Structure formats: structure tokens, C-alpha cells
Chain A
């Protein structure tokens, strides 16, 4: 007989892994398919100090334990793959992977998370690792004594600017608005650092160089004037967006392109649930993702017990 999973979970960040733990522990035949590395955004986190019951740890350790727990309960996890087709409208849902393999499930949990926004300007991709970076902790030391531009105006941008200022000789924060969105504490820390300068109301239009970054083009959004600034590096921290591109045609999203769910994490499509950073909510944390994943898995379990889909799948 054809393999049909009780639940297919798309995404193996904290939300997907928690859903995997609860679903497989409830004896549901559970498959997690993940694009990229297991752990999602958590592996971007050097230190997690606010996960209750766990002393300060790093994201890698925390998520590896979640992965181990899910596997121990029988959950199958396939990672670093490319989801090339998602059909959620039929009773039996189909997920196509790497253009060929098709996985079938009675239900689906979308735990798609978010990704850092990129600027999508000329030079950004070409100079990745040669001056363009998204991680101050990882690459800061390569900019010792050098001049650096930081793009963004939220908590991450200002916190990372202060951390980069330990290495850089001069740092310029370029932000699109005339005020920061960061908390007061981060703004004060950045403003009080003598190495940090600010260019407000402006956006980067291009990154140029030869073997590595040499300069950036900056547009003043009020005057439209483009100026050039010599720099050795560009660090980009302009926030995160939900990974909903592959489901946006079928799943109801809000105006911020986040998945709309009810209290049981149910989406607009029967048998399809969503959890974690990809849903409409205010606070995006590991704890909230884990809670969403739990609710989604328990709702799936309930749904399968009460619906006809299980019986029909067997008869077909």
C-alpha cells in the first residue's frame, strides 16, 4: 500500500520540531521535511538565555536536543531539500521534493518560519564573504581596523553595530527612516559609541568593489540624491519575513504576508495547520514557536480522530 503519513510537517525549526515531538509521541506517522539545516533561525543564535528550564545555551545545542527527541519518538526528518510542489487542496495532501519525490499526508503543518531580508541590490550577492556579511559575531574580526557600513535600524542592527565597533575603525549605520525602531537601550548604546555615525532617511542602492567591497552607493530618500561612501564592509540587518512564498496562492495571509490561523492553529484549508514565526502574531520567540507547534500537533491529532479522512484514505 502507498505510504501516507498522518501528518507532514514543513519546516524543522522549533515549531516544526515541537510539532514532530508531539505528533510522533501521539503515535501519528509523522514526517518533517525541511529546506535547509534542521533548527531554522535558532542556529543563527549564539546564545539563548530565555528558554525556561534550560540554562544559557547556544541555538545549535538546543535544537539538536529537540531533533533527537523527535527522532526518538519515531518522527522521520529529511533536511536540506528543496520543496518544489505543495498541493494542499485535496483530502490527501501532496508535497513534491527536489522536483521528483512525492510525499502524501492526511494533514500538513506549515512551520515555515522566517528568513533574514536581503537588500536585493547590485553587488550584494557578488561580495558575500568578501565584504558583505549578515553576522557580526561570525565575521567581525575580519574587519579589524577597517571601515564598515551597517544597514538597518532595529534592535539587531544597533546591537550588532556596537559589537562590530569593537573591531572596526569607523562604522556608519544607514537607515531608511529618520528614527530607529529599536528599543531605547540599543539606541543609547549605539549613539554613545564614538566610532558609530548615522545616515538617516537613506537607502543603499549598490555595493561596488574589485576583489572585495570598496564602496557603497547611498540614496537620500528626501532629495533623491545619490552619494558614494568608501567602505570595506557592509553588514545587513533589515529584519525577517515569513517564508510563505510557496503557499501564498492557497493559504490565507494577512497584509503582512503572515499565515492567518485560529486558536487551534488551523488555516483556511481543512487539514492544514500552521505554527511558529510564519503565522500572524506579535511575539516571535523560541518559546512561542514551541507552543504553536504543540497546539498544531494536538489539533491534528484531534482532527484525525474525529474526521473521515483516515478511513477514506485506507479505503482508497
Chain B
């Protein structure tokens, strides 16, 4: 389990359920490493503002993380974390490697709308 204050995606079934039950979802699949931690931290900061989006992390090394590791949108990714943005269960954006606040909010705004 990752040591963050985000909700965790715990299994492939849990992943499926989250996507079925929520319209807008962002999942950061990574480790407790230097490229991943800034992204978790930014997500923690953003969750209060983007109330229309559900924010999760997922342990890259858990076997069920194949749902993200092997997603076609992540083909060619060679840098942690793998960050997925889903709308109505479909991947609308996938990003690799460290991202800053501006990069993350620009995807969130584009895909899910700016917070009011």
C-alpha cells in the first residue's frame, strides 16, 4: 500500500468498480519514489477543489496494477508514474513521468472542466 493520503485502488475489481461508479477519475499508478511523490502531493492538494473528480493512487508493483501497466494507452511509457484520466470508464488521457501542478490542472480542466 502506498503511504499517501489519497484513496487507494486496491485491486482490479476495485478499479472496475471505481470506473463504473464515477464519471471523472484520475489514478496515479506509481511507487513511493521521487518522480511519483510530487504527483501524489499535487493530487492531495487538488482534491478539495476538483470535487467533480475522484483522485486515487495505485501501487505499481501490485499484481492487479496490470490494469494500468498493460493498458494500450501506456504502451511506450518508460517513466514512473503512469497517470490515467478516465471519463465514464474510458481513458481520455494517459501521462508518463513526473508532472507539475500546471501540467496536471491543464489536463483536469480540459477533460473534466475547471472547478467553480
Contact = CB atoms under 8 A, between A and B. Distances in A.
Interface residues of B, number: 24
Interface string A75-93: 0000111100000000000
Contact of A36 (B3, B31, B100): B100
B33 to A, nearest CB: 4
Q: Interface of chain B, helix or strand or loop or mixed?
A: loop
A130 B79 contact: yes
A306 interface: no
Q: Interface of chain A, helix or strand or loop or mixed?
A: loop
A233 to B, nearest CB: 7
B34 A135 contact: yes
Contact of B45 (A59, A79, A129): A79
Contacts of A134: 35
Which of the listed residues B96, B97, B98, B102 has the most CB atoms from chain A within 10 Å of its own CB?
Answer: B97
B37 A37 contact: yes
Contact of A133 (B38, B97, B100, B101): B97
A7 B95 CA distance: 38
B37 A43 contact: yes
Interface of B: 3, 31-38, 41-42, 45, 76-80, 95-98, 100-102
26 contacts: A36-B100, A37-B41, A37-B42, A43-B34, A44-B34, A46-B33, A46-B34, A59-B34, A60-B32, A79-B45, A128-B79, A128-B97, A128-B98, A129-B77, A129-B96, A129-B97, A129-B98, A130-B79, A132-B79, A133-B79, A133-B97, A138-B31, A138-B33, A138-B35, A139-B35, A139-B80
